[in-house]
Protein backbone atom coordinates (compact mmCIF):
# COMPACT_ATOMS: atom_id res chain seq x y z
CA UNK A 1 0.00 0.00 0.00
CA UNK A 2 1.38 3.37 -1.00
CA UNK A 3 0.42 6.94 -0.22
CA UNK A 4 0.00 8.83 -3.47
CA UNK A 5 -0.65 12.53 -4.03
CA UNK A 6 -2.37 13.21 -7.35
CA UNK A 7 -2.61 16.76 -8.63
CA UNK A 8 -5.00 17.56 -11.47
CA UNK A 9 -4.75 20.75 -13.51
CA UNK A 10 -7.50 22.98 -14.82
CA UNK A 11 -8.20 21.16 -18.07
CA UNK A 12 -8.47 17.87 -16.18
CA UNK A 13 -11.35 19.26 -14.10
CA UNK A 14 -12.72 21.62 -16.76
CA UNK A 15 -16.13 19.95 -17.07
CA UNK A 16 -18.37 17.71 -14.97
CA UNK A 17 -17.59 14.81 -17.30
CA UNK A 18 -13.88 15.30 -16.74
CA UNK A 19 -14.35 15.57 -13.00
CA UNK A 20 -16.09 12.18 -13.15
CA UNK A 21 -13.15 10.79 -15.11
CA UNK A 22 -10.80 12.01 -12.39
CA UNK A 23 -13.02 10.38 -9.77
CA UNK A 24 -12.79 7.10 -11.65
CA UNK A 25 -9.01 7.24 -11.75
CA UNK A 26 -8.87 8.02 -8.03
CA UNK A 27 -11.21 5.09 -7.41
CA UNK A 28 -8.91 2.82 -9.39
CA UNK A 29 -5.97 3.72 -7.15
CA UNK A 30 -8.11 3.24 -4.05
CA UNK A 31 -9.13 -0.21 -5.29
CA UNK A 32 -5.47 -1.12 -5.66
CA UNK A 33 -5.20 -0.48 -1.94
CA UNK A 34 -3.44 2.89 -2.04
CA UNK A 35 -4.17 5.95 0.04
CA UNK A 36 -4.90 8.89 -2.22
CA UNK A 37 -4.68 12.62 -1.62
CA UNK A 38 -6.01 14.68 -4.52
CA UNK A 39 -4.99 18.29 -5.11
CA UNK A 40 -7.02 20.29 -7.62
CA UNK A 41 -6.76 23.40 -9.72
CA UNK A 42 -9.76 25.52 -10.61
CA UNK A 43 -11.67 24.67 -13.79
CA UNK A 44 -9.61 25.84 -16.76
CA UNK A 45 -10.09 29.53 -17.47
CA UNK A 46 -11.72 30.18 -14.11
CA UNK A 47 -8.80 31.93 -12.41
CA UNK A 48 -8.39 34.21 -15.44
CA UNK A 49 -12.11 34.93 -15.40
CA UNK A 50 -12.01 35.91 -11.74
CA UNK A 51 -8.97 38.15 -12.23
CA UNK A 52 -10.72 39.88 -15.13
CA UNK A 53 -13.76 40.53 -12.91
CA UNK A 54 -11.56 42.12 -10.28
CA UNK A 55 -9.90 44.32 -12.88
CA UNK A 56 -13.25 45.63 -14.00
CA UNK A 57 -13.47 47.24 -10.59
CA UNK A 58 -9.87 48.05 -9.76
CA UNK A 59 -7.13 48.29 -12.40
CA UNK A 60 -4.71 47.09 -9.76
CA UNK A 61 -6.87 44.93 -7.50
CA UNK A 62 -6.36 44.97 -3.77
CA UNK A 63 -4.10 41.93 -3.11
CA UNK A 64 -5.91 40.64 -0.04
CA UNK A 65 -9.30 40.78 -1.71
CA UNK A 66 -7.91 39.38 -4.95
CA UNK A 67 -6.77 36.30 -3.02
CA UNK A 68 -10.20 35.94 -1.41
CA UNK A 69 -11.66 36.04 -4.91
CA UNK A 70 -9.30 33.85 -6.91
CA UNK A 71 -9.06 31.15 -4.28
CA UNK A 72 -12.75 30.37 -4.89
CA UNK A 73 -12.05 28.54 -8.16
CA UNK A 74 -10.42 25.65 -6.35
CA UNK A 75 -13.14 25.52 -3.71
CA UNK A 76 -15.62 24.72 -6.48
CA UNK A 77 -13.65 21.82 -7.93
CA UNK A 78 -12.80 20.14 -4.62
CA UNK A 79 -16.46 20.03 -3.63
CA UNK A 80 -17.54 18.69 -7.02
CA UNK A 81 -14.87 16.00 -7.12
CA UNK A 82 -15.67 14.92 -3.58
CA UNK A 83 -19.31 14.53 -4.56
CA UNK A 84 -18.28 12.50 -7.61
CA UNK A 85 -16.15 10.25 -5.42
CA UNK A 86 -19.02 9.72 -2.99
CA UNK A 87 -21.24 8.98 -5.94
CA UNK A 88 -18.88 6.11 -6.74
CA UNK A 89 -19.33 4.82 -3.22
CA UNK A 90 -16.00 6.00 -1.85
CA UNK A 91 -15.39 7.80 1.42
CA UNK A 92 -14.11 11.26 0.60
CA UNK A 93 -13.69 14.66 2.17
CA UNK A 94 -12.69 18.06 0.76
CA UNK A 95 -10.44 20.64 2.41
CA UNK A 96 -9.64 24.23 1.56
CA UNK A 97 -6.09 25.37 2.24
CA UNK A 98 -7.22 27.10 5.41
CA UNK A 99 -9.07 23.98 6.61
CA UNK A 100 -5.93 21.88 6.27
CA UNK A 101 -3.94 24.73 7.69
CA UNK A 102 -1.49 25.25 4.91
CA UNK A 103 0.20 28.21 6.56
CA UNK A 104 1.96 30.69 4.29
CA UNK A 105 3.65 34.05 4.66
CA UNK A 106 1.50 37.10 4.00
CA UNK A 107 2.76 37.91 0.51
CA UNK A 108 -0.64 37.97 -1.17
CA UNK A 109 -0.81 36.49 -4.70
CA UNK A 110 2.68 34.99 -4.36
CA UNK A 111 2.78 33.55 -0.88
CA UNK A 112 5.23 30.89 0.23
CA UNK A 113 4.24 27.87 2.27
CA UNK A 114 5.67 27.90 5.79
CA UNK A 115 4.08 24.82 7.30
CA UNK A 116 1.38 22.23 6.77
CA UNK A 117 -0.63 20.62 9.54
CA UNK A 118 -1.12 17.15 8.12
CA UNK A 119 -2.70 15.52 11.19
CA UNK A 120 -6.33 15.75 10.07
CA UNK A 121 -5.52 14.54 6.60
CA UNK A 122 -3.66 11.58 7.97
CA UNK A 123 -6.53 10.64 10.26
CA UNK A 124 -8.93 10.77 7.31
CA UNK A 125 -6.61 8.66 5.17
CA UNK A 126 -6.27 6.11 7.96
CA UNK A 127 -10.03 5.82 8.19
CA UNK A 128 -10.23 5.05 4.49
CA UNK A 129 -11.09 8.45 3.06
CA UNK A 130 -9.86 10.02 -0.12
CA UNK A 131 -8.74 13.51 0.80
CA UNK A 132 -9.34 16.28 -1.72
CA UNK A 133 -7.40 19.51 -1.16
CA UNK A 134 -7.73 22.87 -2.88
CA UNK A 135 -4.50 23.76 -4.64
CA UNK A 136 -3.01 27.24 -4.98
CA UNK A 137 -4.19 28.53 -1.60
CA UNK A 138 -3.20 28.81 2.00
CA UNK A 139 -3.75 31.01 4.99
CA UNK A 140 -1.36 33.36 6.74
CA UNK A 141 -0.76 33.40 10.47
CA UNK A 142 -3.56 35.94 10.92
CA UNK A 143 -6.11 33.87 9.06
CA UNK A 144 -6.03 35.80 5.79
CA UNK A 145 -6.49 33.72 2.66
CA UNK A 146 -3.40 33.72 0.45
CA UNK A 147 -2.54 32.27 -2.97
CA UNK A 148 0.75 30.85 -4.18
CA UNK A 149 1.20 32.44 -7.60
CA UNK A 150 -0.16 31.29 -10.95
CA UNK A 151 0.23 27.59 -11.46
CA UNK A 152 0.58 27.22 -7.69
CA UNK A 153 -1.46 24.05 -7.38
CA UNK A 154 1.63 22.13 -8.47
CA UNK A 155 3.38 23.50 -5.42
CA UNK A 156 0.48 22.53 -3.15
CA UNK A 157 0.70 19.00 -4.51
CA UNK A 158 4.42 18.69 -3.95
CA UNK A 159 4.27 20.36 -0.52
CA UNK A 160 1.56 17.96 0.65
CA UNK A 161 3.54 15.02 -0.70
CA UNK A 162 6.55 16.24 1.27
CA UNK A 163 4.54 16.84 4.46
CA UNK A 164 2.84 13.44 4.27
CA UNK A 165 6.03 11.70 3.14
CA UNK A 166 4.07 10.34 0.20
CA UNK A 167 5.55 7.61 -1.94
CA UNK A 168 4.91 9.59 -5.11
CA UNK A 169 3.48 12.89 -6.29
CA UNK A 170 1.73 12.53 -9.63
CA UNK A 171 1.01 15.66 -11.64
CA UNK A 172 -1.81 14.96 -14.10
CA UNK A 173 -1.98 17.42 -16.95
CA UNK A 174 -3.00 17.72 -20.59
CA UNK A 175 0.31 16.41 -21.91
CA UNK A 176 1.54 12.91 -21.18
CA UNK A 177 4.92 13.94 -19.87
CA UNK A 178 7.88 16.22 -20.39
CA UNK A 179 9.00 16.46 -24.01
CA UNK A 180 12.36 17.20 -25.60
CA UNK A 181 10.69 20.38 -26.84
CA UNK A 182 7.19 21.63 -27.63
CA UNK A 183 5.64 19.14 -30.10
CA UNK A 184 3.66 21.99 -31.65
CA UNK A 185 6.96 23.37 -32.94
CA UNK A 186 8.79 20.12 -33.54
CA UNK A 187 6.45 17.24 -34.37
CA UNK A 188 9.32 14.78 -33.82
CA UNK A 189 9.69 15.85 -30.19
CA UNK A 190 9.89 12.84 -27.90
CA UNK A 191 8.49 12.25 -24.48
CA UNK A 192 11.26 11.75 -21.93
CA UNK A 193 10.98 8.80 -19.56
CA UNK A 194 13.12 10.63 -17.04
CA UNK A 195 14.65 14.04 -16.58
CA UNK A 196 16.72 15.30 -13.67
CA UNK A 197 15.53 17.96 -11.26
CA UNK A 198 18.24 20.35 -12.34
CA UNK A 199 17.26 20.06 -15.99
CA UNK A 200 13.60 20.44 -15.13
CA UNK A 201 14.40 23.57 -13.12
CA UNK A 202 16.29 25.09 -16.03
CA UNK A 203 13.51 24.23 -18.45
CA UNK A 204 10.88 25.67 -16.12
CA UNK A 205 12.83 28.89 -15.64
CA UNK A 206 13.36 29.16 -19.40
CA UNK A 207 9.67 29.12 -20.12
CA UNK A 208 8.60 25.48 -20.27
CA UNK A 209 5.16 25.55 -18.68
CA UNK A 210 4.78 21.94 -17.63
CA UNK A 211 5.45 22.51 -13.93
CA UNK A 212 5.47 25.62 -11.78
CA UNK A 213 9.13 26.29 -11.03
CA UNK A 214 8.58 26.55 -7.31
CA UNK A 215 7.10 23.07 -7.21
CA UNK A 216 10.23 21.67 -8.84
CA UNK A 217 12.46 23.46 -6.33
CA UNK A 218 10.33 22.11 -3.52
CA UNK A 219 10.42 18.55 -4.82
CA UNK A 220 14.18 18.72 -5.24
CA UNK A 221 14.68 20.05 -1.75
CA UNK A 222 12.42 17.54 -0.03
CA UNK A 223 13.28 14.61 -2.30
CA UNK A 224 9.71 14.10 -3.42
CA UNK A 225 9.33 11.52 -6.15
CA UNK A 226 7.61 13.53 -8.85
CA UNK A 227 5.96 12.27 -12.01
CA UNK A 228 4.16 14.10 -14.83
CA UNK A 229 1.35 12.19 -16.56
CA UNK A 230 -1.62 12.73 -18.85
CA UNK A 231 -5.06 12.80 -17.35
CA UNK A 232 -6.60 12.08 -20.74
CA UNK A 233 -4.77 9.00 -21.91
CA UNK A 234 -3.90 6.00 -19.85
CA UNK A 235 -0.54 6.12 -21.52
CA UNK A 236 2.01 4.58 -19.30
CA UNK A 237 4.44 6.03 -16.93
CA UNK A 238 4.69 9.68 -17.96
CA UNK A 239 7.98 11.37 -17.10
CA UNK A 240 9.71 10.76 -13.80
CA UNK A 241 11.81 13.60 -12.40
CA UNK A 242 14.94 11.97 -11.04
CA UNK A 243 17.97 12.82 -8.99
CA UNK A 244 21.19 12.97 -10.91
CA UNK A 245 22.91 10.39 -8.77
CA UNK A 246 20.11 7.90 -9.50
CA UNK A 247 19.94 8.41 -13.22
CA UNK A 248 21.79 6.10 -15.53
CA UNK A 249 23.41 7.24 -18.71
CA UNK A 250 22.61 10.82 -19.61
CA UNK A 251 22.12 12.24 -23.07
CA UNK A 252 24.16 15.39 -23.66
CA UNK A 253 21.04 17.46 -24.20
CA UNK A 254 17.67 16.62 -22.68
CA UNK A 255 15.53 19.45 -23.91
CA UNK A 256 15.19 22.68 -25.83
CA UNK A 257 13.27 25.62 -24.43
CA UNK A 258 12.32 28.85 -26.16
CA UNK A 259 10.42 32.02 -25.49
CA UNK A 260 9.56 35.37 -26.94
CA UNK A 261 9.34 37.09 -23.58
CA UNK A 262 12.47 39.16 -23.92
CA UNK A 263 13.70 42.34 -25.54
CA UNK A 264 17.19 43.67 -26.10
CA UNK A 265 18.42 47.11 -25.00
CA UNK A 266 21.71 48.55 -26.22
CA UNK A 267 23.76 51.55 -25.27
CA UNK A 268 26.16 52.47 -28.09
CA UNK A 269 29.49 54.25 -27.81
CA UNK A 270 29.90 53.84 -24.06
CA UNK A 271 33.24 55.20 -22.76
CA UNK A 272 35.37 52.14 -21.98
CA UNK A 273 36.31 52.79 -18.38
CA UNK A 274 35.78 51.17 -15.00
CA UNK A 275 32.38 51.63 -13.45
CA UNK A 276 30.19 52.11 -16.50
CA UNK A 277 28.66 48.62 -16.43
CA UNK A 278 27.80 49.11 -12.78
CA UNK A 279 26.29 52.47 -13.55
CA UNK A 280 24.11 51.20 -16.39
CA UNK A 281 22.86 48.10 -14.60
CA UNK A 282 22.55 50.01 -11.33
CA UNK A 283 20.10 52.38 -12.95
CA UNK A 284 18.17 49.44 -14.40
CA UNK A 285 18.09 47.69 -11.04
CA UNK A 286 16.93 50.88 -9.30
CA UNK A 287 13.95 50.84 -11.66
CA UNK A 288 13.25 47.30 -10.42
CA UNK A 289 13.90 45.71 -13.78
CA UNK A 290 15.46 42.24 -13.95
CA UNK A 291 18.23 41.71 -16.47
CA UNK A 292 18.76 38.35 -18.12
CA UNK A 293 21.65 38.31 -20.60
CA UNK A 294 24.47 40.84 -20.87
CA UNK A 295 26.88 41.39 -23.75
CA UNK A 296 29.66 43.94 -24.02
CA UNK A 297 31.86 44.41 -27.08
CA UNK A 298 35.00 46.49 -26.79
CA UNK A 299 35.55 48.63 -29.86
CA UNK A 300 38.83 50.04 -31.17
CA UNK A 301 37.95 53.63 -30.54
CA UNK A 302 37.92 53.41 -26.78
CA UNK A 303 34.19 52.89 -26.56
CA UNK A 304 32.05 49.81 -26.07
CA UNK A 305 28.55 48.76 -27.04
CA UNK A 306 26.68 47.45 -24.03
CA UNK A 307 23.60 45.24 -24.53
CA UNK A 308 21.35 43.40 -22.15
CA UNK A 309 17.96 41.72 -22.30
CA UNK A 310 14.90 42.33 -20.13
CA UNK A 311 11.36 41.01 -20.03
CA UNK A 312 9.38 42.37 -22.96
CA UNK A 313 6.85 43.96 -20.60
CA UNK A 314 9.64 46.12 -19.18
CA UNK A 315 11.19 47.08 -22.49
CA UNK A 316 9.76 50.60 -22.70
CA UNK A 317 10.67 51.31 -19.10
CA UNK A 318 14.23 50.02 -19.58
CA UNK A 319 14.72 52.12 -22.72
CA UNK A 320 13.58 55.22 -20.85
CA UNK A 321 16.11 54.50 -18.09
CA UNK A 322 18.85 54.01 -20.71
CA UNK A 323 18.11 57.39 -22.22
CA UNK A 324 18.85 58.97 -18.87
CA UNK A 325 22.03 56.92 -18.45
CA UNK A 326 23.17 57.89 -21.95
CA UNK A 327 23.30 61.56 -21.03
CA UNK A 328 24.90 60.85 -17.67
CA UNK A 329 27.87 58.85 -19.00
CA UNK A 330 28.24 60.46 -22.40
CA UNK A 331 27.30 57.46 -24.53
CA UNK A 332 26.56 58.00 -28.21
CA UNK A 333 23.09 56.49 -28.64
CA UNK A 334 20.59 53.90 -27.49
CA UNK A 335 18.91 51.24 -29.55
CA UNK A 336 16.37 48.57 -28.72
CA UNK A 337 14.85 45.49 -30.26
CA UNK A 338 11.81 43.66 -29.04
CA UNK A 339 11.69 41.28 -32.02
CA UNK A 340 14.01 38.75 -30.47
CA UNK A 341 13.60 35.25 -29.12
CA UNK A 342 15.65 33.15 -26.76
CA UNK A 343 16.43 29.52 -27.56
CA UNK A 344 18.15 27.34 -24.98
CA UNK A 345 19.53 23.83 -24.88
CA UNK A 346 19.58 22.10 -21.51
CA UNK A 347 21.36 18.97 -20.39
CA UNK A 348 23.50 17.77 -17.51
CA UNK A 349 25.57 15.82 -20.06
CA UNK A 350 27.15 19.17 -20.96
CA UNK A 351 29.26 18.95 -17.85
CA UNK A 352 31.18 16.01 -19.19
CA UNK A 353 31.16 16.73 -22.92
CA UNK A 354 33.26 19.34 -24.67
CA UNK A 355 32.18 21.04 -27.86
CA UNK A 356 28.47 21.37 -27.16
CA UNK A 357 28.48 25.12 -27.78
CA UNK A 358 30.33 24.89 -31.06
CA UNK A 359 27.98 22.16 -32.23
CA UNK A 360 25.07 24.42 -31.39
CA UNK A 361 26.51 27.49 -33.09
CA UNK A 362 27.56 25.58 -36.21
CA UNK A 363 24.10 24.11 -36.60
CA UNK A 364 22.56 27.58 -36.39
CA UNK A 365 25.13 28.98 -38.80
CA UNK A 366 24.32 26.28 -41.33
CA UNK A 367 20.79 27.69 -41.40
CA UNK A 368 22.08 31.24 -41.63
CA UNK A 369 20.65 32.15 -38.25
CA UNK A 370 22.54 35.01 -36.66
CA UNK A 371 23.25 34.81 -32.92
CA UNK A 372 22.80 38.15 -31.16
CA UNK A 373 23.57 37.23 -27.58
CA UNK A 374 24.83 34.17 -25.73
CA UNK A 375 24.70 33.07 -22.13
CA UNK A 376 25.68 29.83 -20.50
CA UNK A 377 25.45 27.96 -17.23
CA UNK A 378 26.90 24.61 -16.34
CA UNK A 379 23.98 22.76 -17.91
CA UNK A 380 22.51 25.32 -20.32
CA UNK A 381 23.39 27.40 -23.35
CA UNK A 382 21.01 30.16 -24.43
CA UNK A 383 21.15 32.26 -27.56
CA UNK A 384 19.13 35.25 -28.67
CA UNK A 385 18.10 35.20 -32.31
CA UNK A 386 15.76 37.20 -34.45
CA UNK A 387 12.18 36.41 -33.54
CA UNK A 388 11.21 35.11 -36.98
CA UNK A 389 13.93 32.43 -36.87
CA UNK A 390 12.93 31.03 -33.50
CA UNK A 391 11.06 27.96 -34.70
CA UNK A 392 13.68 27.18 -37.33
CA UNK A 393 16.36 27.41 -34.65
CA UNK A 394 14.48 25.04 -32.36
CA UNK A 395 13.94 22.50 -35.13
CA UNK A 396 17.55 22.76 -36.27
CA UNK A 397 18.91 22.17 -32.78
CA UNK A 398 16.49 19.37 -32.07
CA UNK A 399 17.85 17.60 -35.11
CA UNK A 400 21.50 18.55 -34.54
CA UNK A 401 21.47 17.00 -31.07
CA UNK A 402 19.56 13.96 -32.30
CA UNK A 403 16.74 14.51 -29.86
CA UNK A 404 14.32 12.96 -32.31
CA UNK A 405 16.12 9.66 -31.97
CA UNK A 406 15.16 7.23 -29.26
CA UNK A 407 17.92 6.76 -26.71
N1 LIG B 1 -5.86 28.05 -10.64
C2 LIG B 1 -4.54 28.60 -10.47
C3 LIG B 1 -4.04 29.19 -11.78
O4 LIG B 1 -4.73 29.16 -12.77
C5 LIG B 1 -3.58 27.63 -9.90
C6 LIG B 1 -3.28 26.43 -10.75
O7 LIG B 1 -4.04 26.10 -11.64
O8 LIG B 1 -2.26 25.79 -10.52
O9 LIG B 1 -2.97 29.73 -11.83
MG1 LIG C 1 -0.47 24.28 -14.26
pLDDT at 371 over 70: yes
- Closest atom of ligand 1 to 74 CA is 1
Check residue 175 and give its pLDDT: 83
pLDDT at 134 over 90: yes
Confidence band (pLDDT; 50, 70, 90) for 249?
low
**Is 150 close to ligand 1, i.e. is its CB under 6 Å away?**
yes
Q: Which residue has the higher pLDDT, 318 or 174?
A: 318
Q: Which residues of 207-231 are buried (b: 16+ CB within 10 A; e: fewer)?
A: ebebbbbbbbbbbbeeebbbbbbbb
The answer to whether 94 touches 38, Cβ cutoff 8 Å, is no
Q: Residue 246 above 70 pLDDT?
A: no
CATH 3.30.2130.10 location in the chain:
256-400
Q: Report the residue among 76, 102, 151 best suited for mutation to probe ligand 1: largest number of ligand atoms under 8 A from its CB.
A: 151
Q: Is the pLDDT of residue 299 over 80?
A: no
What are the residue ranges of CATH 3.40.1160.10 in the chain? 3-174
Spatial neighbors of 324 by CB under 8 A, at least 6 apart, are 283
Q: Is 97 in the pocket of ligand 1 (CB under 6 A)?
A: no
Helix (H, G, I), strand (E, B) or coil at 3: strand
Report the pLDDT averaged over residues 87-95. 98
Tens of pLDDT, residue by residue over 42-78, are: 999 999 999 999 999 999 999 999 999 999 999 999 9
Residue 210 in this model has a pLDDT that exceeds 90? no
pLDDT bucket at 204, cuts 50 / 70 / 90: confident
The reported pLDDT for the residue numbered 12 is: 95
CA–centroid distance, 148 to ligand 1, in Å, is 9
Q: Band of the pLDDT at 405, cuts 50, 70, 90?
A: confident
Q: What is the DSSP letter of 221?
A: H
Residue 407 has what pLDDT? 62
CATH number for region 3-174: 3.40.1160.10
With a pLDDT cut of 90, the percent of the chain lying above it is 84
CATH 3.40.50.920 fits 256-400, yes or no: no
Supply the pLDDT for residue 251.
77
Q: Specify the 3-state DSSP secondary structure of 223.
A: coil
What share of the chain in percent tops pLDDT 70?
98
One DSSP character per residue, 257-303 reads EEE--EEEEEEEEEE-STTHHHHHHHHHHHTT--EEEEEEEE-TTSE
pLDDT reading at 208 higher than 80: no
Alpha carbon nearest to ligand 1 atom 6, residue = 151
- Mutate which of 9, 136, 209, 211 for ligand 1? The one with the most ligand atoms within 8 Å of its CB, which is 136
3 state DSSP class of 23:
helix
What's the predicted TM-score (pTM) here? Answer: 0.84
Q: Is the CB of 47 under 6 A from ligand 1?
A: yes
Q: Which atom of ligand 1 is nearest to the CA of 9?
A: 7
How confident is the model at residue 213, as a pLDDT?
87
* Residue 248 reports pLDDT greater than 80: no
Amino acid sequence: MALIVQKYGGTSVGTIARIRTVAERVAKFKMMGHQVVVVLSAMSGETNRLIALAKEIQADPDPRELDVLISTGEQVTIALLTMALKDLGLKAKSYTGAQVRIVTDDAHTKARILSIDEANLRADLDSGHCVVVAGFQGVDENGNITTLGRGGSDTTGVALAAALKADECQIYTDVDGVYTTDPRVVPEARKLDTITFEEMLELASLGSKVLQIRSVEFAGKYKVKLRVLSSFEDSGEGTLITFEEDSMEQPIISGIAFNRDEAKCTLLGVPDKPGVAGLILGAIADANIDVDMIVQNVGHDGTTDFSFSVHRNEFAKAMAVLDGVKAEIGARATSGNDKIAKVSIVGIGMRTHAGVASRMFKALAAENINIQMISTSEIKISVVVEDKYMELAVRTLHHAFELDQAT
